[in-house]
Amino acid sequence: MGMQLDVSVVLTIDDGTLPREIGMNFKIPQFEPSAMLAKTVLENALTEFDKHMPGAQLLGIRARVRPNGPELFRYDLGPGIRR
């Protein structure tokens, strides 16, 4: 019936300047949040990160169902994790 979830993802990156946050949104055809949704969103966000920010270091990533839905995941990787 056209039901979809709007998921907001925020990446904390360091691209050689100061650490900053980058936002992206995904529309997923699903009725309610689930572990599979979190996995799909994480995979899509990391794919976009690799494609558009190849030299950046990922410091953290978090996702939430919008506008007032639950947090799907939060990973704080810290400055020691490099690709």
pTM strictly above 0.75: yes
Q: Strand runs (DSSP E) across 29-70, as ranges?
A: 57-66
Residue 9, pLDDT score: 97
Q: Is the pLDDT of residue 5 over 50?
A: yes
Mind listing the pLDDT tens digit for each residue in 6-61?
999 999 998 888 889 999 999 998 888 889 999 999 999 999 999 998 888 999 99
**CA–CA dist 31, 20 (Å, integer):** 32
Residue 3 has pLDDT above 50, yes or no: yes
Please give the Cα distance from 21 to 37 (Å, whole number).
Answer: 22
Question: Tell me, what's the pLDDT at 79?
Answer: 61
Asked whether residue 1 carries a pLDDT value surpassing 60, the answer given is no
